[in-house]
Chains A and B, each alone.
Chain A
Amino acid sequence: MENDYINIILADDDRDDRLFFTDAFEELRMNTKVNTYNDGVELMDFLNSDDAIMPNVLFLDLNMPKKSGIECLNEIKASGKMSEIAIAIYSTSASEEDIEETFVLGANIYIKKPSDFKALKKVLAEVVSINWQYHTNSLNKDNFLLRM
């Protein structure tokens, strides 16, 4: 059954980050299915395809070639069928401008990539287990950036 597991997508141009990401979920042993895309164009091509299954959580890197995370976020929020996806910004930096912009554009949470694998696992586990309905309702600028 498709709905038995949590469908997770990561769009990141960095090979190492994709590796950490999939390794972390492997070690977490949660009921998740992880797909990764190498840039914004690949991601949007998939999401726009007719038979695409919408993920439960989309992890979006900001700095990507061809199509940036911000552009993807814009397109997703503008499209009807994708607007329900929970979007977690997954970026190296946590600059005020980026946080502000993605919050305004409607992202659900902002994660600064941790520099420790244990910390990474903890963050991902936390994000995946968030009750998005509840989180979105009480979302504000202070709890938008995930602090561990």
Chain B
Amino acid sequence: MENKNFFKSSLFIKIILLGSLFVILLIGGFTYKHISNLTNSTKVVVYTYEVNVELERLNSYLIDAESVHRKYTLTKDTLYLAPSLIARKKINNSFLQLKELTIVNIKQQENLIILSKLIDNLFLNFDKTNRLVKNNEISTETFKTLFFEEKVILDAIRRQVNEIIELENKLLKDRQKEYQSDLQFTPLFFYFVLLMTLVIIVMSLNKINIDLIKIKAKNDQLLIFKESTNQSEIIGKHGNWVWHINANIFTYSDNLYRLLGEEPQSFEANFDNFLKFVHPEDVDRLTKDLDRMIVNEELPFVSYRIVQKDGSTKYLKAYAKAFFSIDGQKRLLGITSDITDEIENFLALEERNLELERNNKELSGFNYVASHDLQEPLRKIQTFISRLEDRESDKFSEAGLQYLERINSAIKRMRTLIDDLLQFSRTTKPDKVFVVADMNELFENAKQDVAVLILEKKAKITCDLLPNAQVITFQIQQLFLNLLSNSLKYIQTGKAPIIKINYETVKAKDDPNLVKATKSIYHKITFADNGIGFEQKYSEKIFDLFNRLHNKQDYSGTGIGLSICKKIIENHQGFIFAKGKINVGAVFTIYLPVN
């Protein structure tokens, strides 16, 4: 967008420049025309004066001729006839001169013809009178008439001359008027045009200045951008390259050279030079990719190895896409990044995962063997004891029988321990299937498992309506069972157990227990009993494996049940908390995320 504006403004400047040139040429033309007009006017003035002067001269010649003629008439001396001839010659010359001067003016030519006829008449008259004078016929009527005619012709000539002069003067006046108006208009016009040119030039300069400032700001931005790109390339371990397709030229960024372990711009940027660094096993594949890039003008994600000059191998990943610049040039912009760290991390992680998997397998194998192989001798001891009790009981003393019973109860305890351990290890196994289940049903199933105990202890159990939830069913059932067993086990002597199960949904942000919650809404189920309770300081410890708060004689238990509960809850991304008060009861609160 910015670039487009820039191009627009450059076009604008060109137009202004052409406009200014045109205006200056116009001024030149006008000036030339005005000056030539002025010259013409001057010429006309000079010419008019010349005409006037010539006419005056003609006039004086005529006067000369007349005076000579008069003198001859008076004196009859032929001496005066010669100057008359000369005057005539001079008049003719003067007349020719006038004719030439007024050659462009038809009106004046006509006037001159009239004048010439009048002059001819005058001289004809002179000749006639001269002849009369010669014959001494001065007092005749003819002479008088001729003499009078002479005066009339001279008057006519003078009038004619005046007329020509007047006409010339009039012409001169007109031309002067024209010249004057030209003269008046010219400076105004010049001033106006000059002003226009100045305005245009100032505007252009201003525009250029603004553009320059903009370009400078853009340049600054570009510099900053370039530097930040450089920095980010160094930090992000990637480099960029551009393939100018039309010119088949490559440019590599500085950091691309660094990725190859080379100094920036230390070799010519092209395919062949780059391929020298590519791992021999990857050269073929990459070459094919690059060939395809030339055809498709796009490079999908490719990864390959390079070998730096110091022999170290790096993993690179590249991607490129075609890009059209404003002037229509096609380019391929590519990014190549060093993914060695990622690959190494990934490999290390994979190694670690495999190790964990192996450990897990070993552990579960150990679990199986432990539970299975430990059960076998136990079972046999039990069976042998049952054989002893059946067949040999009469041979035992009272104490012997009691020992047998002790052995039996120890074995039973051992068996429970193994069963619980097995249960715990099953809870840890990763094969969990989450299904939507009715938790009321799961709770009822758990209740069924301890139905005998409930009857025996005369327990009262109340339970809210529980929701449906996405759970691992057998685990949740186990959880309910363990919590119920717990409440039925740790009862106060002589007090029938009362177990209350309450349910509600809570928002994580409203519940102080859910500070670490990752979901927003939770099912909250509380198990409250009136049993022996526990000291609040053990509220976290009771979930630890094999942790017991009571001795085995008072309360049976392996210290695994609540650990299993915690594990199950963790499998469901939930939370479990215990609250206790000695001889008042215990409250277990579990939170399960709502989907």
**Shortest CB distance A83–B (Å):** 29
Cα distance, A118 to B387, chains bound together (Å): 9
Cα distance, A117 to B379, chains bound together (Å): 10
* Stretch of B352-360, B370-378, B480-488 lying at the A interface: B370-378
Contact A113 B372 (CB under 8 A): no
Main secondary structure of the interface of B (DSSP, over half): helix
**Shortest CB distance A17–B (Å):** 8
- Asked whether any CB of chain B lies closer than 8 Å to the CB of A92, the reply is yes
- Asked whether any CB of chain A lies closer than 8 Å to the CB of B368, the reply is yes
- Asked whether any CB of chain A lies closer than 8 Å to the CB of B265, the reply is no
- Asked whether any CB of chain B lies closer than 8 Å to the CB of A14, the reply is yes
Contact B386 A95 (CB under 8 A): no
Residue among B372, B375, B382, B415 making CB contact with A116, cutoff 8 Å: B382
* A-side contacts of B505, CB under 8 Å: none
Closest to A96 in B: B426
Give the residue among A14, A113, A116 with the most B Cβ atoms within 10 A.
A116
**Shortest CB distance A63–B (Å):** 7
What's the interface size class on B, roughly?
10 to 19
* B-side contacts of A118, CB under 8 Å: 386, 390
**Shortest CB distance A141–B (Å):** 15
Cα distance, A1 to B376, chains bound together (Å): 38
**Shortest CB distance A135–B (Å):** 26
- Asked whether any CB of chain B lies closer than 8 Å to the CB of A16, the reply is yes
Cα distance, A116 to B382, chains bound together (Å): 6
Cα distance, A83 to B372, chains bound together (Å): 29
Cα distance, A36 to B584, chains bound together (Å): 59
The residues in B between 347 and 403 inclusive whose CB is less than 8 angstroms from any CB of A are 368, 371-372, 375-376, 378-380, 382-384, 386-387, 390
The residues in A between 73 and 130 inclusive whose CB is less than 8 angstroms from any CB of B are 92-93, 95, 113-118, 120
* B-side contacts of A114, CB under 8 Å: 379, 383
**Shortest CB distance A129–B (Å):** 22
Contact A117 B387 (CB under 8 A): yes
Cα distance, A102 to B577, chains bound together (Å): 42
Contact A113 B390 (CB under 8 A): no
Contact A92 to B387, CB < 8 A, known contacts A16-B380, A115-B382, A116-B382: no
Residue among B372, B376, B386, B415 making CB contact with A117, cutoff 8 Å: B386
Contact B371 A93 (CB under 8 A): yes
- Asked whether any CB of chain B lies closer than 8 Å to the CB of A5, the reply is no
- Asked whether any CB of chain B lies closer than 8 Å to the CB of A46, the reply is no
* B-side contacts of A17, CB under 8 Å: 380
Cα distance, A115 to B386, chains bound together (Å): 8
Question: A17-35 interface mask toward B, CB cutoff 8 Å, 1 = contact, 0 = none?
Answer: 1001000000000000000
Cα distance, A107 to B402, chains bound together (Å): 42
The residues in B between 487 and 522 inclusive whose CB is less than 8 angstroms from any CB of A are none
Give the residue among A14, A17, A114, A117 with the most B Cβ atoms within 10 A.
A117
A interface residues with partner B (beta carbon < 8 Å): 14, 16-17, 20, 63, 92-93, 95, 113-118, 120
B interface residues with partner A (beta carbon < 8 Å): 368, 371-372, 375-376, 378-380, 382-384, 386-387, 390, 415
A115-B386, A116-B386, A117-B390 given; name 5 further pairs at CB < 8 Å.
A14-B376, A92-B375, A114-B383, A116-B382, A117-B387
